[in-house]
Amino acid sequence: MKITKYIHACLLIEKGSGKILFDPGLFTFAEGLVKPSQFENIQAIILTHNHPDHIDADSLKEILKNNAAAIVLANSEIVKSLAAKEIEAEVFESGERIVAGFNFEAFDAPHEAILADELPQNTAYIIDGKILHPGDSYNKNLFAKKGTEVLCLPTMAPWTTELTTFDFAARMSPQIIVPIHDGYAKDFFLESRYQNFKKYFDRKNISFQWMSKAGDYVEL
C-alpha cells in the first residue's frame, strides 16, 4: 500500500489497481503546485468534513470529470451541501464498506472546537484496518482505534498546539505517522516543526514521515 500526500489533508492511497483520494481541498490547489487534472483512475473520493480546506467544489468537479467512474463518499451533511452544487455523493458515515478493493470503516469523530457558530459533522475512516484518517478530530471516540498502524495526524490547526498534538498521537500509539493539515505553513516553519516532532516521536518508537512536499509518499 502507498500513501501519497498532495499538500494539507489531501492523500492518495493506492493498493494494486485501487486508488482512493481523501479531502482534495482548497489548500491543495491554491498555489498551482497540484492540479485536479493530475488525478487519474481514481475509484473513490472520501471527504471527512465540510470545510473548504478539505473540500473544494470546483476542483472536485474537475476531478470527477476526469474520473467518471469515481464515487464520492461522505457524511450526510456533506452530501446535502454537495447536492446544492450539483455534485452527487453517497452517505457513508458509519459501518463498513468495501470500495476499490479497500475495506473501509466509518465512524463519528466530532470536529475540534474552533471560532465558529457551528461545527461541521466530522467523520473518521479506517482503511484496511491499518490507516486511520480522523479528519479534524482528536476526539475520545478515536481511542477505540488505539494501536492502528498508521495515523494520519493533523499536526497544525487553530484548534491544537504542538503539545496537544504530540500527546494525542502518543496516546494513539501508531507505528507510523503521516502528517496532515499543515498546508498553510511556510517551508522553513514546517521543517522546524517536522524536526521537532520527529525528535520526540522517535523517543516513542513512532516513525514520523517527512511529507512536506506535494508528492511525498510512504509505502507500507
Q: Over range 128-152, report the average pLDDT.
A: 98
What length does the chain have? Answer: 220
CA 124 to chain centroid: 9
Residue 66 three-state SS: helix
Residue 66 lies in a domain: yes
Q: Which pLDDT score is estimated for 174?
A: 98
Residue 219 lies in a domain: no
The band of 61, judged by pLDDT with boundaries at 50, 70 and 90, is very high
Ramachandran bin of 134, using left for φ above 0, alpha for ψ from -120 to 50, beta for the remaining angles: alpha
| CATH assignment of the domain containing 100 | 3.60.15.10
Q: Over range 59-76, report the average pLDDT.
A: 97
Phi, psi of 85 (to 5 degrees): -105, 15
Q: Which pLDDT score is estimated for 183?
A: 94
Residue 220 lies in a domain: no
Residue 25 lies in a domain: yes
How does pLDDT run across 86-125, given as a tens digit for each residue?
A: 999 999 999 999 999 999 999 999 999 999 999 999 999 9
Say if CB 164 and CB 139 are below 8 A apart: no
The band of 156, judged by pLDDT with boundaries at 50, 70 and 90, is very high
> Which of these, 68, 77, 70, lies nearest to 22 by C-alpha position?
70
Q: Which pLDDT score is estimated for 36?
A: 97
The secondary element (H helix, E strand) that includes residue 46 is strand 44-46
- The distance between the two most distant Cα atoms of the chain, rounded to a whole number of Å, is 48
Residue 186 lies in a domain: yes
Q: Over range 68-79, report the average pLDDT.
A: 97
Residue 101 lies in a domain: yes
Average pLDDT value over all residues in the chain: 97
The residue segments making up the domain with residue 114 are 2-213
The DSSP 8-state label assigned to residue 217 in this structure reads E
How does pLDDT run across 170-219, given as a tens digit for each residue?
A: 999 999 999 999 999 999 999 999 999 999 999 999 999 999 999 999 99
Cβ partners under 8 Å of residue 130, min gap 6:
1, 148, 149, 150, 220
Distance of alpha carbon 146 from alpha carbon 172, whole angstroms? 5
How does pLDDT run across 158-182, given as a tens digit for each residue?
A: 999 999 999 999 999 999 999 999 9
Residue 45 lies in a domain: yes
Q: Which pLDDT score is estimated for 72?
A: 98
Q: Which pLDDT score is estimated for 178?
A: 98
Could you tell me where the beta strands, DSSP code E, fall in 51-160?
71-74, 90-91, 95-99, 102-108, 123-127, 131-133, 150-154
Residue 42 lies in a domain: yes
Q: How many domains does the chain have?
A: 1
Q: Which pLDDT score is estimated for 215?
A: 96
The band of 29, judged by pLDDT with boundaries at 50, 70 and 90, is very high
